[in-house]
Amino acid sequence: MRRFLQRSQLLFFTAALLVFTLAVSFRREDKYFEISKNLDIFSAFYRELNTYYVDDLSAQQLMYKGINAMLDETDPYTDFIPEENLDELKFMATGKYGGVGASINTDSNKTVISDVYEGSPMYKAGVKPGDIILSLDGHNTLGLKQDDVSKLLKGASGTTLAMRTKNPISGEEHDRKIVREEINVKPVAFAGMTREDVGYIKMSQFTENGGNQVQDAFEKLKAAHPGMKGLILDLRGNPGGLLEEAVAVSNIFIDKNRLIVRTKGRIKNWDHDYKTERQAIDLTLPLVVLTNHSSASASEIVAGAIQDLDRGVIIGQRSFGKGLVQTTRTLPYNTKLKVTTAKYYTPSGRCIQAIDYSHRNEDGEADYVPDSLRKNFTTQRGRAVRDGGGIEPDDKVEPIFLSQVAVTLLRRQYIFDYATIYYYAHPQQPQPATFSLTDAEFDNFVQFLDGKDYSYKTRSEEALETFASTARKEKYFDAVSAEYQSLQQKMKHDKKQDLLKNKTEIRHLLEEEIVSRYYLQRGRIEKGLAWDNDVKEAVAVLHNPAQYTALLKGK
């Protein structure tokens, strides 16, 4: 009897397994049938449309619009890369492109060099920020859009660019022959000391060889400053890049054979654990990683590993929350598909993807993962951390937002233009860390603004206008018009008073821009360290071992 029951159970299990296998098979075949059916419909639709529509249709435009419509159903990181945009894909991965090594700013009147990369062809040719580009290879730049000017500047390494420029102060014009090179935007934008005993490394992106460059910068700081009490690794504004470089940077501070990040997707054979491969350079030096809302992807891998393994303290603001991994697939005719194939998980097991693209509202919009669905995880020492919302700092510093008048002065290029004037009037190089504008020089800047339009609306004025518009529509305005006029008059701002009220902030922006004229990007970064609140907090924590230890314990 028992044998009969065992045989019956075996037959039942075998039958159930067969039914399940067939069901899965049918579901898979149903899906493939749906794909095949709809591809046939799409092909027939395009054939009939192309044959009978009254006007000629561009095949490429139609297909690209169709592709873009499909991409609207995915996340913003999945993208179709046409052949003409492959250089952008290469730049994102390597930090390299063929060009002259300069940034530009274009308006309706002129195209101006806004930045020159140290050691680049533009740098070697003596081109300086503030120089005006008149023509490129015989093309007058007046009226050209910024993208069009950028395309003329870029080109294959070894090719020659004929450029005519004008000095912004003297008005002298110069013809230059510039040989394009492969420009390599360095991952380490600056490395130095914030004070005598605290090191600082600013990493701008995770491109090829980024790990080696951070390690080289760190080792040089240690050798030059043997009494260094701590290091600040600044990943603010770093959008990420290569996952392998994030592992390499982590390996500088985390020992061999430790899990840094795990990727998991639909294709299980592609799931992978990324571990450190070498002995760490330093396992004990107190470490602070700075993040903000623009720290994404590979930046979050490093910050997440440092936090989960309790190797250092995260200071600043919550990171962006990009926990998605992209893979590049080759398509016909030298085109590419950059497609999200997996999510990445930090050593504690959390995925820090902040926006859920798999669930959308009725308008098709994706939203942030709600707090109610975020799960708790623990670091190596038992500190509580959460998934679904980026890397939250161990020590949060409130961000400082620029005043409306400062934003307007930056947008209108008045701070940039004054720095150009100052540079040519003061040929002697100042020291970045100690340079400061005198009150008389700030007054000169205020005089420089006389007659210039830097009008703007404050947020309060915009809110008041919105109120008035709504009140008129709802027919309440007449009843409150007197109060509205009185409030409007009280809120009316005086531009010069705003300059003086925000003098410290504007002076800092001026000093950074002026120093960059002499020392380019590294000068701007070094000067900015003096009043950077995140850096100040990091230095304070590194100077206070008890506070540093308490943060690592979650207290």
pLDDT in tens, 272-287: 999 999 999 999 999 9
Q: How many CB atoms lie within 10 A of CB 215?
A: 18
* Average pLDDT for 395-403: 93
Of 398, 429, 400, residue with least CA distance to 504:
400
Indicate whether 373 pLDDT > 70.
Answer: yes
Angle ∠(206,339,265) on CA atoms, nearest 5: 90
- Reported as a pLDDT band with limits 50, 70 and 90, residue 460 is confident
Contacting residues for 331 by C-beta, under 8 A, at least 6 apart: 80, 337
Of 89, 86, 78, residue with least CA distance to 322:
78
Kindly report, as residue ranges, where domains of CATH 2.30.42.10 are found in the chain.
96-184
Indicate whether 446 pLDDT > 90.
Answer: yes
* Average pLDDT for 70-82: 91
* Average pLDDT for 467-474: 86
Indicate whether 14 pLDDT > 50.
Answer: no
Give me the pLDDT at residue 18, please: 47
- Kindly tell me the sign of the dihedral angle through the C-alpha atoms of 187, 192, 193, 199: positive
The CATH code for residues 96-184 is 2.30.42.10
Give me the pLDDT at residue 15, please: 47
Give me the pLDDT at residue 474, please: 86
Indicate whether 193 pLDDT > 50.
Answer: yes
- Reported as a pLDDT band with limits 50, 70 and 90, residue 492 is low
> Considering the entire predicted model, what is its pTM?
0.86
Specify which residues 261 forms β-bridges with.
274
User: Which residue would you say has higher pLDDT here, 83 or 218?
Assistant: 218
* Average pLDDT for 415-422: 97
Instruction: Report the alpha-carbon distance of residue 381 to residue 306 in Å, rounded.
Output: 12
Indicate whether 498 pLDDT > 90.
Answer: no
What residue ranges in 462-509 does DSSP mark as E strands? none
Instruction: Report the alpha-carbon distance of residue 127 to residue 139 in Å, rounded.
Output: 19
User: Which residue would you say has higher pLDDT here, 365 or 449?
Assistant: 449
Give me the pLDDT at residue 396, please: 97
* Average pLDDT for 67-71: 91
Contacting residues for 43 by C-beta, under 8 A, at least 6 apart: none
- The H or E element spanning position 52 is helix 2-52
Indicate whether 238 pLDDT > 60.
Answer: yes
Which of 95-99, 362-366, 425-429, 536-540 bottoms out in mean pLDDT, i.e. has the lowest? 362-366
Give me the pLDDT at residue 323, please: 93
Give me the pLDDT at residue 110, please: 92
Kindly report, as residue ranges, where domains of CATH 3.90.226.10 are found in the chain.
188-399
Specify which residues 367 forms β-bridges with.
356
Of 503, 464, 99, 534, residue with least CA distance to 314:
534
Give me the pLDDT at residue 488, please: 74
Give me the pLDDT at residue 5, please: 39
Architecture of domain 188-399: Alpha-Beta Complex (3.90)
Q: Around 147, how many Cα atoms within 13 Å sit in the side-chain half-sphere? A: 1
**Active-site residue set:** 297, 308, 322
**Helix (H/G/I), strand (E/B), else coil: 116:** strand
* Average pLDDT for 211-221: 97
Give me the pLDDT at residue 370, please: 85
Give me the pLDDT at residue 12, please: 46
* Average pLDDT for 102-126: 92
Give me the pLDDT at residue 168, please: 95
Contacting residues for 485 by C-beta, under 8 A, at least 6 apart: none
Instruction: Report the alpha-carbon distance of residue 345 to residue 122 in Å, rounded.
Output: 42
Give me the pLDDT at residue 491, please: 65
Contacting residues for 325 by C-beta, under 8 A, at least 6 apart: 243, 263, 265, 340, 341, 342, 343, 344
Largest CA distance in the chain: 108
User: Which residue would you say has higher pLDDT here, 416 or 267?
Assistant: 416
68 token code pair: 């873009």
* Average pLDDT for 434-444: 94
- Reported as a pLDDT band with limits 50, 70 and 90, residue 13 is very low
Indicate whether 232 pLDDT > 60.
Answer: yes
